[in-house]
Structure 1
Amino acid sequence: MNIRLSDMSLSAFVAGFVAVLVGFTSSVAIVFSAAQALGAGPAEISSWMWALGLGMGLCSVLPSLWLRQPVMIAWSTPGAAVLATAAASGGFHLPEAVGAFLVSAALVTLFGVTGWFERLMGRIPMPIASALLAGVLARFGLDAFVALKSAFALVLLMLATYLVGRRLWPRYAVPGVLAAGTLFAALQGKLHLGAVSLALTVPVFTMPVFTLPALVSLALPLFIVTMASQNLPGVAAIRAAGYDMPVSKLITLSGLATLLLAPFGAFALNLSAITAAICMGREAHEDKGRRYMAAVACGLVYCVIGLFGAAVTGVLTAFPRELVVAIAGLALLGTIGNGLAAALKDDAHREAALITFLVTLSGLSLWGIGSAFWGVVAGALALFVQQWRPRIAA
């Protein structure tokens, strides 16, 4: 593995940090809720951060360096929501949940090793995949401007910095936005760093217990939402950015890493879509061949989170919510625009792609499965109705 430190740049490092900031702060509360609902105490919750941080970090850093492409692995946010809901209603405890994590991870690994998931994704037309990605990310773009209601001055300053930055120094627009927002929040006294404490995280092993109710109520829903709501848009992000990655091997890697780390709290690792879009966009680097360093930077920060969970959690959660949603929306504007352009440029797929985009953006959830899956289903059905022609015998 030939590591070229010269490929690292300020824009790539900041893109990686922003990806962590957005991915972590937007969903860590859901992960904490899931752990607490399953009966985890402070030691077990810290162990979850250790397992998830190292799992996401190493599974992002190593393949990114090996492939020289931005491979982004994240935890399953909808999976955490499923766990929190099922635990509250079903009365499951942590050992049963760990058994469910292992079963779900085994299924993910199976779909990776056999190539079933990659073959399924290969049948989805590129305009539908691009519309799916745009729909997943557009919510963050909307939230950036909704944040004007509660933090008008902060968000307006960040937006002005972004526009000026895109005009004068395009590569450093997002770092400039982050710096301006952080400085403004600090001057207003809105950075809350009092909860930061430096200490190494100690992993806690939980012996798994396998039960049929946990298999039905935890393992299968966790597997379905991870594949449909996380890995599916993750592959769409890879394709939309123009990268050719061994998807089946990456799915297998995420499954194996979850199998290894599940007893310590890694409930589900999967391909990322939102944070991947940040690291795969032009804001990370103009040179597509050097954007992998953004994923490396993101992965290294995740590893630090794993090792010093309490301290890094305190730092990342110190940022105001409006700053986080604003930096996410502004960093993703280019990717959202590119996704919409690719989705709508072909007349033959335009209506189906638009339906995919709108259903995905709607946030529709049925039977615990999120809108990303239903967006693809709706788009595929629309495409079938519009383009199917019966075969006429000669």
Structure 2
Amino acid sequence: MKRLLNIRHISAGLTAVVIGYTGSVIIIIQAAMAAGADSEQVASWLMALGIAMGVTSIGFSLRYKIPVVMAWSTPGAAMLIGVLDQYDLAVSIGAFVMTGVMIALTGCLKPVARAIQAIPQPMATAMLAAIVLPFCMNAFLPAESDFGIFMVMFTTFLMAKRWLPQYVMVLLLVAGLTLALWDGVFDDQSVEFSLAAPVFVAPEFTLQGLINISIPLYLVTMLSQNLPGIAMLRSYNYSLPLPQVLIGSGITNAVLAPIGGFSVNLAAISAAACMNENVDADPSLRYRSAIWAGIFYLLAGGWATAVVVLFVALPDAIGQMMAGFAVLGTLLMCLQNAFNDTRYHEAALVTFLVTVSGITLLNVGSTLLGLMAGGVVFLNKSYR
């Protein structure tokens, strides 16, 4: 029992959830509102996502004994904000169901899953570094706009790294909440700690929903979430059977879509909190931190109504710094791995630059374009 209540495991699990929620919960809320969801339905979306992420994180981590942290698709939610207002809520829900089915089918089609896993690690980690980089850069923007908050949070970060490195994110959260309370951020907020209730919406399946919602969400989820998630696990020398994860997460996605579970996939940025040496000196025991992440996901989902109020009220500067400081080590590790093999130097560099540019060509995003460009560079070099 004592081993199960390891404070480092609990702290890492809580950190992963805090990073995930702090960095993107507002985007999820905006996506739900764009779909036409009312306040109760928004809470239902967060509850469904909490259940989906919690059940899959616990289940996969127990099954494979590695730290498998699941998440919602933040890039997917950002994409949905600009799309869902054109469709009825029922059509959007139907599209979410179809996305889940497509992900599950990808797991069943082994050649597709193998093709994803066959992407060279230097290029995959270069892509992941490009995704992480903006978070790290944004962590320092409050120095200009909110200097007082920045100094308190930055000082807390430095002191924690020096004396209590395994509790950095917990201490940053305490500091952030203290600052928010001091500034009276929550004075006008009415937080109800009643359990959220699911709101069922019967899905409506349409061709337009498939083309304009399901397929783009599927591609973004696979390329911007599952692929970086695999890269993150590989970076810490963990091997995960991708087909089984895709089948399980896809089915979970499809089942919970009618109450708002639009996406569940491998986490990348937040997952790093459960994989580093500060979690446990023994890599084979770090999976327990992912189990705790799943437990906290379930709790956050159950009290989704309160979560909505708290995270919407939290100052942006605090969220930016927490997300950025949490992945500084990840960025360093990704850059080291991306450029460790001289055969892939140019390909990894092009992958990194194209991905970080954020460009879009013919409706293809920078994540896929980065990998395509890097692949072309590598093949060109190979055939010289």
Report the equivalent of 1:259: 254
Tell me by how many angstroms 1:43 deviates.
2.5
Higher mean C-alpha deviation, range 374-383 or range 311-320: 311-320
TM-superposed deviation, 1:126:
1.6
Residue of structure 1 in register with 2:264 after alignment: 269
Provide the TM-score with structure 1 as the length reference: 0.90
Is the counterpart of residue 310 in structure 1 residue 305 in structure 2? yes
From 55, 76, 81, the equivalent of 1:79 is: 76
- Provide the residue aligned with 1:392 in structure 2: none
Report which stretch shifted further, 373-382 or 21-30.
21-30
Equivalent position of 1:24 in the other structure: 21
Q: Which residue of 2 aligns with 1:55?
A: 52
Tell me how far 1:329 sits from its aligned partner.
Answer: 1.5
Given that residues 142 and 149 in structure 2 are in contact (C-alpha distance below 8 angstroms), is that contact kept between their aligned partners in structure 1?
Answer: no
Q: In structure 2, do the counterparts of structure 1 residues 357 and 212 end up closer, same or farther at CA, with 3 Å as the change threshold?
A: same
Q: Does 1:331 align with 2:330?
A: no
CA distance in 2, matches of 1:285, 1:139: 28
Taking the aligned partners of 1:69 and 1:236, their CA distance within structure 2 comes to 14
- Segments of structure 2 that go 5 or more residues without pairing to the other structure are none
The match for 1:294 is 289
- C-alpha change, 1:98 and 1:293, in structure 2 (3 Å) is same
Count of residues in correspondence between the two structures: 384
Distance 1:368 1:304, change over 3 A: farther
CA contact (8 A) 2:136 2:328 kept: yes
Which of 62, 67, 70 is residue 64 of structure 2 equivalent to? 67
Q: Distance in 2 between matches of 1:350 and 1:223?
A: 30
Question: What do the CA deviations read for 1:224-281 (whole angstroms, capped 9, x no partner)?
Answer: 1111221111111111121111111111111010111111111121111111122223
Seen in structure 2, the aligned counterparts of structure 1 residues 208 and 179 have a Cα distance that, compared at 3 Å, is: closer
Structure 2 residue aligned with 1:373: 368
Q: Does 1:159 align with 2:154?
A: yes
Shift of 1:182: 3.4
Residues 52, 173 of structure 1: alpha-carbon distance in 2 compared, 3 angstrom cutoff: closer
Q: CA deviation at 1:7?
A: 4.5
Shift of residue 107, structure 1, vs aligned partner: 0.9
How far is 1:5 from its partner?
A: 5.4
Select 2:6's aligned residue among 2, 6, 9. 9
Q: How does 1:187-198 map to 2 (within 5 A)?
A: 187-190=182-185, 194-198=189-193
| Alpha-carbon RMSD | 2.2
- Tell me, yes or no, if structure 1 residue 211 matches structure 2 residue 214: no
Q: Secondary structure at the match of 2:3?
A: helix
Counterpart residue identity of residue 46, structure 1: A
1:229 corresponding residue in structure 2: 224
Distance 1:156-1:382 versus aligned 2 partners, 3 A rule: farther
Distance in 1, Cα, partners of 2:71 & 2:98: 19
| Higher alpha-carbon deviation: 379-388 or 35-44 | 35-44
Is the 2:26–2:312 contact (alpha carbons within 8 Å) kept by the matching residues of 1? no
- Cα separation, 2, equivalents of 1:150 and 1:344: 34
1:110 shift after superposition: 0.5
Corresponding letter in the other structure for 1:262: A
Shift of the alpha carbon at 1:356?
1.5
> Which consecutive residues of structure 1, in runs of 5 or more, have no partner in the other structure?
390-394
Q: TM-score, normalised by structure 2?
A: 0.92
C-alpha deviation, 1:85, in angstroms = 1.7
- Give the direction of change, closer, same or farther, for the CA distance of 1:308–1:119 in structure 2 (3 Å limit): same
Q: Relative to structure 1, is the Cα distance of residues 193 and 242 closer, same or farther in structure 2, using a 3 angstrom cutoff?
A: farther
Identity of aligned residues (%): 37
Aligned to 1:41: 38
DSSP 3-state at the match of 2:52: helix
